[in-house]
């Protein structure tokens, strides 16, 4: 009996696994709201002279949630490889290995985009975005998620222990958050950090999102974000694909 090698089935499985734990999703949204509500409102009371800081920090809070959700893709793959050895089962199913690997990365990007959609909607409402600009906002979230998913799959393909994987994740989170303009404008960052922030996908994503408030779609920021997302997704594919060769 011929099997079905549709990537849809791979994506369906990833979604089932991810959404099986609804508590996790609720926590992610709650974390986003706490980050936005408590940090955003508290800091906006402290920081003046840079406009509404609450609105300034909002996209960053959502992108942090995206980072956490994206690394879940890598964690799933790491578990399949190292803990449960589910990978050998998956490789016996009627999928081509390349198609399977691409599908995993795509589903990781997609499910993060959906996970953060409530946050994106909240920000879209706060920013009074039109529907087309909301869609651009979704695109920004998807590109950023793709980049982080790619990175997380690279880490999952290389890490031999959960400690190593989580350390890579923490390091990536620190780099994305503190060496970018997620919290502060580049003009008030230390000079070295300010330079580094120009090469940080968080900066590209968060600034693109902020620009939407003014009705601007900044292609100069979206272009490198797209390039990096594609490059990291492809790198993730290469590393993941390599783990399938025995």
Strands (E) located in the chain = none
Residue among 94, 130, 188, 234 that touches other proteins (CB under 8 A): 94
Assess contact for 240 and 153: CB atoms under 8 A.
Answer: yes
Give the chain's end-to-end CA distance (angstroms, integer).
27
Residue among 32, 71, 95, 209 that touches other proteins (CB under 8 A): 95
Site string for other proteins, 14-33 (x = CB under 8 A): --xx--xx------------
How do the residues of the chain divide into helix, strand and coil, expressed in percent and rounded to 5?
A: 80, 0, 20
Binding of other proteins by 4 (CB under 8 A): yes
Cα(244)–Cα(42) distance, integer angstroms: 48
Least Å distance, CB 163 to other proteins, is 22
Least Å distance, CB 142 to other proteins, is 25
User: Segment contacting other proteins (CB under 8 A): 11-19, 191-199, 213-221, 226-234?
Assistant: 11-19
**Angle CA 117–120–126, to nearest 5:** 145
- Count of positions on this chain that bind other proteins (CB under 8 A): 26
Residue among 42, 52, 86, 167 that touches other proteins (CB under 8 A): 86
Three-state DSSP class for 39? helix
Three-state DSSP class for 185? coil
If the CB atoms of residues 97 and 242 are measured against other proteins, the closer one turns out to be 97
What does the block give as tokens for 37?
């509500």
Binding of other proteins by 195 (CB under 8 A): no
Residue among 7, 13, 138, 177 that touches other proteins (CB under 8 A): 13
If the CB atoms of residues 32 and 100 are measured against other proteins, the closer one turns out to be 100
Residue among 52, 88, 130, 198 that touches other proteins (CB under 8 A): 88
User: Segment contacting other proteins (CB under 8 A): 34-42, 60-68, 90-98, 153-161?
Assistant: 90-98
Least Å distance, CB 19 to other proteins, is 10
- Total count of residues recorded for the chain: 246
Binding of other proteins by 34 (CB under 8 A): no
Cα(146)–Cα(131) distance, integer angstroms: 22
If the CB atoms of residues 121 and 158 are measured against other proteins, the closer one turns out to be 158
User: Segment contacting other proteins (CB under 8 A): 78-86, 142-150, 180-188, 196-204?
Assistant: 78-86
The closest alpha carbon to 111, from 209, 11, 7, belongs to: 11
Which are the contacts of 67, defined by CB distance < 8 A and separation ≥ 6?
148, 172, 173, 176
- Please state, in angstroms and as integers, the Cα–Cα distance from residue 100 to each residue in 8, 127, 245, following that order: 10, 38, 13
Interface with other proteins by CB under 8 A: which residues?
A: 1-5, 9, 12-13, 16-17, 20-21, 84-86, 88-89, 91-97, 245-246
């Amino acid at each position: 009996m011929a099997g079905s090698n549709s990537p849809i089935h791979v994506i369906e499985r990833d979604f089932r696994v991810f959404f099986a734990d609804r508590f996790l999703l609720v926590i992610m949204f709650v974390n986003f709201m706490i980050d936005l509500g408590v940090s955003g409102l508290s800091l906006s009371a402290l920081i003046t002279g840079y406009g509404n800081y609450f609105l300034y920090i909002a996209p960053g809070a959502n992108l942090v949630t995206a980072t956490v959700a994206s690394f879940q893709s890598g964690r799933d793959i790491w578990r399949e490889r190292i803990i449960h050895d589910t990978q050998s089962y998956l490789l016996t199913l009627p999928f081509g290995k390349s198609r399977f690997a691409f599908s995993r990365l795509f589903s990781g990007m997609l499910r993060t985009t959906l996970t953060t959609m409530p946050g994106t909607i909240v920000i879209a409402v706060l920013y009074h975005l039109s529907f087309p600009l909301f869609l651009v906002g979704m695109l920004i979230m998807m590109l950023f998620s793709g980049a982080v998913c790619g990175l997380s799959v690279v880490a999952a393909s290389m890490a031999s222990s959960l400690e190593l994987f989580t350390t890579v994740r923490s390091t990536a989170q620190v780099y994305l958050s503190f060496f970018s303009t997620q919290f502060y404008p580049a003009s008030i960052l230390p000079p070295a950090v300010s330079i580094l922030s120009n090469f940080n996908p968080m900066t590209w994503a968060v600034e693109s999102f902020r620009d939407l408030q003014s009705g601007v779609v900044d292609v100069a920021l979206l272009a490198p974000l797209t390039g990096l997302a594609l490059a990291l997704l492809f790198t993730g594919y290469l590393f993941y694909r390599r783990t399938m060769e025995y």
